[in-house]
Amino acid sequence: MRECNKTDKNELDTVTEILRAATKGAKKAEIMGRCNLNNKALEKYLYVLVALNLIKVEQGGESLYRTTEKGLQLMRTYYHLKALLGGKTYDLLLVRLLGQLIANRKKDVEDVGRQHPQPQRYIV
């Protein structure tokens, strides 16, 4: 996975790198290391990303941060625009992979819904 320690990155680059680091779930220390952020800076980003529903926090022994479907869609759009403007082929491949990941997550949610159908409600 690409590190996000470029010196010329902007906030949107940082946001997408955090989302990318958390795609499969990551602890705060992992995200800090991959994105070259200190704890204070990462806390600011995580607060906003959670508030915008781009990342969710899974509680356990230690909090695990995972990119939501909305976050995946933002990443896909970001890399798609970046590829269109910069013409980088690896970004197009990433856009395709993000699209597949979004589709797989939707399918998983639908499968769970079929396994555990909601009880029918009748108005009497």
66 SS3 class: strand
- Neighbouring CB atoms inside 10 A of 33's CB total 14
pLDDT attached to residue 105:
74
**Could you tell me the domains of the chain?**
11-111 (1.10.10.10)
Which spans in 2-123 are helix H? 11-21, 28-35, 39-51, 69-86, 89-115
- DSSP-assigned beta bridge partners for residue 6: none
pLDDT at 6 over 80: no
Top-confidence residue, 10 or 90: 10
Band (5; pLDDT cuts 50, 70, 90): very low
Residues 23, 67: contact at Cβ < 8 Å? yes
pLDDT in tens, 11-69: 888 999 999 999 999 999 999 999 999 999 999 999 999 999 999 999 877 889 999 99
Residues 64, 75: contact at Cβ < 8 Å? no
Average pLDDT across the chain, whole number: 81
pLDDT attached to residue 50:
96
